[in-house]
Amino acid sequence: MRWHLIIVALGGVNYFSMRKGHLRFGLFLAQAGLVLIAITMGVLLDVPTAEYPRVSHIYSLSVASLGYLNYQREKSNIQLMLIVICLLTFVILASAPLASPYVLEMPDLLRFVGTWANATMATIMLAASVHAIHSELVRKDKDSRRLMSALWNKEFKLAFQPQVDKSRKIVGAEALIRWPPLIKAKSHQHRLFLRLSNSN
């Protein structure tokens, strides 16, 4: 029952963090909570036996995949550390029984259903994570090719904007790179140009 309360508390903190605009912290907290749940299940509930293998450790691969996707969007050492922890968790739980004196015994029927349900859900999550990573890579490649095509076709225009002081005397100039097609399709391409400019 205590673990249920901890899970609910983590979910609540994560929800309110995202509502307050702390998306990065909320995503990191969600990943940390999921890997903590996977470790807890693997040590206390999903201990391998002769009849039922451990499957909860597969969740750590899903969390690592989501973490990698988040890391590609915003580089962070703490995110990288969490990815490494997820991978180590998978290796350790997959390679060692790690029997705990506090193992919670479950009926065979519940263990049978839980094994298949967790394996199915973890596999679906992993497949969804791989699909999300693939979609992100395809999007970046497509955006890069569009900018490369614009550069090759000389669609960018260099302009200079004078800078003046209080006496209206020109003291310098600001170089601007304009992309005329933005005027025709600025709703998407403008966001694309800013996103790639910030990432590079």
Question: Which tens digits make up the pLDDT trace of 113-158?
Answer: 888 888 888 888 888 888 887 787 777 777 777 777 777 877 777 7
Evaluate whether 62 touches 113 at the Cβ level (below 8 Å): no
Q: List, in order, residues 6 or more apart from 176 with CB less than 8 Å away.
A: 158, 159, 160, 161
**Does residue 50 belong to any structural domain of this protein?**
yes
Same domain, 118 and 176: no
Q: Counting every residue, how long is the chain? A: 200
Q: Which residue has the tokens 């919670």?
A: 104
Total-model pTM: 0.61
Instruction: Report the distance separating Cα 197 and Cα 116, nearest Å.
Output: 46
Residue 148 within a domain: no
Question: Does residue 53 form part of some domain?
Answer: yes
Residue 26 token pair: 């909320």
119 plus 162 within the same structural domain: no
pLDDT tens-place string over residues 32-56: 888 888 888 888 888 888 888 888 8
Pairing of strands 157-164, 170-178: antiparallel
In a domain, 146, yes or no: no
Q: Which range of residues forms the domain containing residue 189?
A: 154-199
**Whole-number Å distance between alpha carbons of 36 and 104:** 17
Residues 109 and 189 in one domain: no
User: Does some domain include residue 149?
Assistant: no
